[in-house]
Chains A and B, each alone.
Chain A
Amino acid sequence: MSIITTVGGRLSQAFLLLLVMSLIGFVGIHSVGNPVYNIVNIETATTEDIRRATIALGLDQPLWQQYLLFLKNVVTGNFGTSYIYHLPAFDLVMSKLPATFELASIAMLIAAPTGIMLGLLAGRRHGSSVDRNVLKASVSALSIPSFWLSMMLIMLGAVILGWFPSGGRGATVSLFSREWSFLTLDGLRHLTLPALALAVPNIALIARLARSGTIEMESQDFTRFCRAKGLSSRRILFRHTLPNISVPIVTIVGMQFGGMLAFAVVVETIFAWPGVGKLLIDSIQLLDRPVLMATLTFVSVAFVGLNAIVDLFYAVLDPRVRLSA
């Protein structure tokens, strides 16, 4: 009963979100400029050419009619054809997805364990030199602009050491009819630097969160009771403290993962990584409305989905959430 109503509530919220998002995106890109001038060759096109292109793209209609037409098409699963690539917009987004997904996943696989370990360590020794260094490092990691970090990584890893390539995706393997880099050694080498560039700020964020949670847990009665009943401090840290601080960490991991799927623009651009973020920024620059709308829709759906997964995790982690009293 209540599962249905909750899921229903969630879905209707997601629906509303998508509607608002599409409206903002639609009006926003309309106000940036006329896409026709990016499509026809300005040098050679006659007024007649421009008029025909405008009619062909449906841009002669009033904006609200264009929007309604867009909505109607979306309902039938059609986001339109890219003005630039002349490919279905949705397929275009989907073709970029594996690259973004594997990059974000690997970045998070690096960031979450590292951040948690550093945070536990710092929080356990609150006030020690380890703690102070973790804090200082996290402040600098959070304040470094990601383009600078990316370039430093290229300089160190690609130019000076020469261990990693400076950009591109490398060799890929086909799996589920999509191309993946992480299954080949060359692909992994290409993944390393951009993944690190994405991971560093997340490590800092997660470490800070884990640290403050650990400090709070250490002051709680049950960790004191665990010591009194004779458990080793290592067991207390991993078996008792860690599960108890994981709810906020899971939340932030979910949100940051969503952010990396959509907005890793800077890193993807610098490393020439053909991902969704790069597609999004390109489509805004070229006023490629169908692709922009398809990307934004995907991003919104991804965030809603991640939020639902995070909620499920709460229930897995915490019996008080799982079982009603």
Chain B
Amino acid sequence: MKQDSIQRPLLEVSNLTLKHRATSGATTILRDVSMKLHRGEILGLIGESGAGKSTLGNAILGLLTPEFERTAGTILFNGQALESMDERQWDAIRGRRISAVFQDHTASLDPLMTIGAQLEETIRATDGNVSAHQARARAFDLLVRVGIPNPHERYASFPHQFSGGQRQRVVIAIALAGTPQIIVADEPTSALDATVQKQILRLLRELVDETGVSVILVTHDMGVVAEITDKVVVMKRGEVVEADTTSTILDDPRKGYTRRLLAAVPRLRVRSCEQSDNRSSTDREMGSDAEAPILIVQGVTKTFSGQGFPWFRKHTRKLALRNVSVRLARGAITGIVGESGSGKSTVGRIIAGLETAGEGTLDIDGTSYDISLPGQRSGLLGRVQMIFQDPAVSLNPRMSVAETLQESVRFGSRRPLGARPDVATMMERLGLAQSLLARYPHQLSGGQKQRVCIARALLAGPQIIVADEPTSALDVSVQAEIAKLLKEMVTEQAVSMLFISHDLALVQELCSSVYIFKEGVVEDAGSSEFIFSRSRNSYTRSLIDARPRRFTY
């Protein structure tokens, strides 16, 4: 191969400027963006929400909606100008030359079609000469290649019969079906559990090395960038902040913004302290036993009845929780860690009285509640306040901030009236300007919305707060602020908190003790120090190992 052909980029974006037109006026989404992608390369596009990274991905795929208008710049692919193509020309590019993998593996696949049919459909759409038989054979090959076990058995299965990781593998197989030169992967692993995320990233790397396909990896996660990319483009508010090789960006970032992004990534400490050897195993016990725990949950078992059409439903009762016991020390933050489907959120909702459980007991501050009854009947509802993952959907869009908070003060409190914190002080403490009181949720940023959710929970005057992934829907830099705020609030407002998360580093930072959940069972438990440094539980270890090496020490 000539030196020349290696040097020439496969895709070159130069000085691209895009505007978004709305009735309220035009906003610039991308300003003067340039980047180069070479053959067989994984390029990371990183930035926080609103950075324009997904818009750039869509522009490369020709999937921009008509409201977007290019005012300057070019996208050159193999010497062809993509930006001036019409739909007919795009049909020759999309799927055949440039393909895509999206974040939400559930929404990417047609739920009513078997995965085999969806693969064959793509193969036949992208290659007119292929026979039905050949298409089927190639579909099998692709499924084998992306690591679907027993492809012959799974060929006629529907998307919902696969796990999340397998679905994303199928999506990758479909993306590969037209033998493209570029795959635009928009947050391909963000919806997956850490251990699965690692496998999918490894698969992408293998495919790049084997087939020479190039990947544009759009992500907000520095861990993903560190794991597999060759080059990185850092974006902020529609502009390129910095572009370089991955190692340079990680080790020697030039720009302050890049440094801040890197610093905001929570680090996991796995090396145990020096004195750990001479400690006995008794520190597996959590917290001090001097005071009785504020919350004792014991032997909770819950089953979900099977889903599906009643006439066809087999008896598919699923055990969601099996004999789960959790204790929460007064004034402490206790972490519950697990992957999706581990039952960690179910436990949180049972404690908050939002769900019932078949068996088990629950005591708050010495009072027992019957968790087999709905929250209203057992009197549990309102005792424990919740902070949910996505502040965008957990606030009533028709209520202003003031209305939301006042409702909480009026109906929530179980404390004596005098001790009730007032809205203004709480707003100020949480760093929310008084002028926000009149606003509605859609007029707030993600971080502000989550602060309002925290204020709402605290104003109800609870003894216990259950925070279910309260930072997962937020940008990295905002995540750190919210985490810090939660920690301060626990001390200041004298509440205790159950912190449910899949993010080990965050749990380590906040929590004094940790429960590891796996498939509805408490798999491992102990003080934070014990779990992260000395636990020998193989599942706990695998969770820790799934973290990007770069951000553990």
Q: Name A residues whose Cβ lies closer than 8 Å to a Cβ of B.
A: 1-3, 6-7, 220-222, 224-233, 235, 239-240, 243-244, 311-312, 314-315, 317-325
For the complex of A and B, the 7 pairs showing the least CB-CB separation, nearest first, are A230-B95, A221-B107, A228-B100, A324-B308, A321-B309, A319-B158, A225-B108
**A244-B112, A319-B160, A325-B316 known; A230+B311 contact, CB < 8 A:** no
Count residues of B near A (Cβ-Cβ below 8 Å).
43
Asked if A2 and B175 sit within 8 Å, CB to CB, the answer is: no
Asked if B311 and A323 sit within 8 Å, CB to CB, the answer is: no
Can you give 26 contacting A-B residue pairs, CB < 8 Å? A221-B102, A221-B107, A222-B109, A224-B102, A225-B108, A228-B99, A228-B102, A229-B100, A230-B96, A230-B178, A231-B122, A235-B121, A239-B113, A240-B113, A243-B112, A244-B111, A314-B309, A315-B309, A318-B111, A319-B160, A320-B158, A321-B309, A321-B312, A323-B161, A323-B312, A325-B316
Complex CA gap A311/B184 in Å reads 40
CB proximity of A243 to chain B, nearest CB, Å: 5
Asked if B158 and A323 sit within 8 Å, CB to CB, the answer is: yes
Asked if B310 and A229 sit within 8 Å, CB to CB, the answer is: no
**A4 and chain B: residue at smallest CB distance:** B311
Q: Which residues of the other chain, A, contact B96 by a CB distance below 8 angstroms?
A: 230
CB proximity of A90 to chain B, nearest CB, Å: 30
Asked if A229 and B112 sit within 8 Å, CB to CB, the answer is: no
CB proximity of B168 to chain A, nearest CB, Å: 12
Complex CA gap A295/B503 in Å reads 65
Asked if B63 and A224 sit within 8 Å, CB to CB, the answer is: yes
Beyond A322-B312, A323-B161, 16 extra complex contacts between A and B, CB < 8 Å: A221-B103, A224-B102, A225-B102, A225-B109, A226-B110, A227-B63, A228-B99, A229-B100, A229-B175, A230-B91, A230-B95, A230-B99, A235-B125, A239-B121, A319-B158, A323-B308
Asked if B112 and A315 sit within 8 Å, CB to CB, the answer is: no
**B58 and chain A: residue at smallest CB distance:** A224
> Which of the listed residues B109, B110, B160, B308 has the most CB atoms from chain A within 10 Å of its own CB?
B110
Is B307 located at the chain interface by the 8 A CB criterion?
A: yes
Q: Which residues of the other chain, B, contact A228 by a CB distance below 8 angstroms?
A: 61, 63, 94-95, 99-100, 102, 175, 184
Q: Which residues of the other chain, A, contact B111 by a CB distance below 8 angstroms?
A: 222, 244, 318-320
Cβ-neighbour of A324 out of B113, B177, B184, B312 (below 8 A): B312
Complex CA gap A29/B134 in Å reads 70
**B61 and chain A: residue at smallest CB distance:** A228
Asked if A225 and B309 sit within 8 Å, CB to CB, the answer is: no
Asked if A220 and B100 sit within 8 Å, CB to CB, the answer is: no
Complex CA gap A323/B156 in Å reads 13
Asked if A221 and B308 sit within 8 Å, CB to CB, the answer is: no
Is B313 located at the chain interface by the 8 A CB criterion?
A: yes
Complex CA gap A30/B417 in Å reads 62
Cβ-neighbour of B161 out of A6, A222, A312, A325 (below 8 A): A325
Complex CA gap A317/B307 in Å reads 16
Cβ-neighbour of A229 out of B94, B158, B316 (below 8 A): B94
Asked if A230 and B160 sit within 8 Å, CB to CB, the answer is: no
Complex CA gap A65/B272 in Å reads 88
**A221-B108, A224-B63 known; A229+B312 contact, CB < 8 A:** no
Is B171 located at the chain interface by the 8 A CB criterion?
A: yes
Q: Which residues of the other chain, B, contact A222 by a CB distance below 8 angstroms?
A: 107-111
Asked if A229 and B178 sit within 8 Å, CB to CB, the answer is: yes
**B126 and chain A: residue at smallest CB distance:** A230
Is B193 located at the chain interface by the 8 A CB criterion?
A: no
Is B398 located at the chain interface by the 8 A CB criterion?
A: no
CB proximity of B332 to chain A, nearest CB, Å: 37
Asked if B160 and A225 sit within 8 Å, CB to CB, the answer is: no
Q: Which residues of the other chain, A, contact B87 by a CB distance below 8 angstroms?
A: 233
Complex CA gap A228/B109 in Å reads 12
Complex CA gap A229/B177 in Å reads 8
CB contact list, B106-156 vs A, under 8 A: 107-113, 121-122, 125-126
Cβ-neighbour of B112 out of A2, A3, A312, A318 (below 8 A): A318
Is B279 located at the chain interface by the 8 A CB criterion?
A: no
CB contact list, B45-69 vs A, under 8 A: 61, 63
**A325 and chain B: residue at smallest CB distance:** B307
Complex CA gap A311/B313 in Å reads 13
> Which of the listed residues A221, A243, A312, A317 has the most CB atoms from chain B within 10 Å of its own CB?
A221
Complex CA gap A1/B316 in Å reads 13
**B111 and chain A: residue at smallest CB distance:** A320
CB proximity of B484 to chain A, nearest CB, Å: 34
Is B174 located at the chain interface by the 8 A CB criterion?
A: yes
Is B315 located at the chain interface by the 8 A CB criterion?
A: yes
Complex CA gap A3/B310 in Å reads 7
Complex CA gap A313/B180 in Å reads 39
Is B104 located at the chain interface by the 8 A CB criterion?
A: yes
Q: Which residues of the other chain, B, contact A6 by a CB distance below 8 angstroms?
A: 310-311
**A221-B102, A229-B125, A231-B122 known; A324+B316 contact, CB < 8 A:** yes
CB contact list, B295-315 vs A, under 8 A: 306-315
Complex CA gap A279/B63 in Å reads 57
**B171 and chain A: residue at smallest CB distance:** A225
Q: Which residues of the other chain, A, contact B126 by a CB distance below 8 angstroms?
A: 229-230
**B127 and chain A: residue at smallest CB distance:** A230
**A235-B125, A244-B110 known; A229+B174 contact, CB < 8 A:** yes
Complex CA gap A225/B58 in Å reads 11
Asked if B125 and A232 sit within 8 Å, CB to CB, the answer is: yes
Asked if B160 and A320 sit within 8 Å, CB to CB, the answer is: yes
Q: Which residues of the other chain, A, contact B63 by a CB distance below 8 angstroms?
A: 224, 227-228
CB proximity of B108 to chain A, nearest CB, Å: 4
Asked if A229 and B110 sit within 8 Å, CB to CB, the answer is: no
Complex CA gap A233/B86 in Å reads 14
Q: Which residues of the other chain, A, contact B175 by a CB distance below 8 angstroms?
A: 228-229
CB contact list, B162-207 vs A, under 8 A: 171, 174-175, 177-178, 184
Complex CA gap A322/B313 in Å reads 8
CB proximity of B313 to chain A, nearest CB, Å: 5
**A315 and chain B: residue at smallest CB distance:** B309
Q: Which residues of the other chain, B, contact A320 by a CB distance below 8 angstroms?
A: 111, 158, 160, 308
CB proximity of B91 to chain A, nearest CB, Å: 7
CB proximity of B164 to chain A, nearest CB, Å: 13
Q: Which residues of the other chain, A, contact B174 by a CB distance below 8 angstroms?
A: 225, 229
Asked if B308 and A2 sit within 8 Å, CB to CB, the answer is: no
Q: Which residues of the other chain, B, contact A7 by a CB distance below 8 angstroms?
A: 311
> Which of the listed residues A225, A235, A243, A244 has the most CB atoms from chain B within 10 Å of its own CB?
A225
**B178 and chain A: residue at smallest CB distance:** A230
Asked if B107 and A324 sit within 8 Å, CB to CB, the answer is: no
Complex CA gap A28/B308 in Å reads 41
**A219 and chain B: residue at smallest CB distance:** B65
CB proximity of A189 to chain B, nearest CB, Å: 40
Asked if A325 and B94 sit within 8 Å, CB to CB, the answer is: no
Q: Which residues of the other chain, B, contact A231 by a CB distance below 8 angstroms?
A: 95, 121-122, 125
Complex CA gap A222/B109 in Å reads 5
Q: Which residues of the other chain, B, contact A2 by a CB distance below 8 angstroms?
A: 310-311, 313-315
Q: Which residues of the other chain, B, contact A229 by a CB distance below 8 angstroms?
A: 94-95, 99-100, 122, 125-126, 174-175, 177-178
